[in-house]
Amino acid sequence: MRLAALFSGGKDSTYAIYLMERRGHNVEYLLTIFPESDESLYFHYPNIELTKLQAEAMMKHQLVERCGIGRAEESSALARLIEKVSGMVDGVVSGAIASRFQLKAFKEICEKYDLNLFAPLWGMNPLTILQRMISEGFEIIITGVAAAGLGKELLGARLTPSLVEEIKQASDRFGINPAGEGGEFETFVLDAPIFKRRIEIIEVEVDWRGDRGFLKIKGAKLAEKKNY
pLDDT of 68 strictly over 80: no
Nearest residue to 191 via CA among 156, 223, 157: 223
CA distance 139 to 197: 12
pLDDT number for residue 72 = 78
SS (H, E, C) the chain: CEEEEECCCCHHHHHHHHHHHHCCCEEEEEEEEEECCCCCCCCCCCCHHHHHHHHHHHCCEEEEEEECCCHHHHHHHHHHHHHHHECCECEEECCCCCCHHHHHHHHHHHHHCCCEEECCCCCCCHHHHHHHHHHCCCEEEEEEECCCCCCHHHCCCECCHHHHHHHHHHHHHHCCCCCCCCCCEEEEEEECCCCCCEEEEEEEEEEECCCCEEEEEEEEEEECCCCC
Determine how β-strand 139-145 pairs with β-strand 116-118.
unpaired
CATH annotation of 126-223: 3.90.1490.10
pLDDT digits (tens, 9 = 90+) for 209-219: 888 899 999 99
pLDDT digits (tens, 9 = 90+) for 103-134: 888 899 999 999 999 999 999 999 999 999 99
CA distance 22 to 5: 14
Domain segments of the chain as ranges: 2-118, 126-223
pLDDT of 57 strictly over 70: yes
Determine how β-strand 61-67 pairs with β-strand 26-35.
parallel
pLDDT of 38 strictly over 70: no
CA distance 29 to 45: 20
Least confident of 20-29, 36-45, 49-58: 36-45
What's the pLDDT band for 183 if we cut at 50, 70, 90? confident
pLDDT number for residue 228 = 46
CATH annotation of 2-118: 3.40.50.620
Say which residues have a Cβ less than 8 Å from residue 77's Cβ, sequence separation at least 6.
Answer: 33, 65, 66, 67
pLDDT of 69 strictly over 60: yes
pTM: 0.93
pLDDT of 44 strictly over 60: no
What's the pLDDT band for 39 if we cut at 50, 70, 90? low
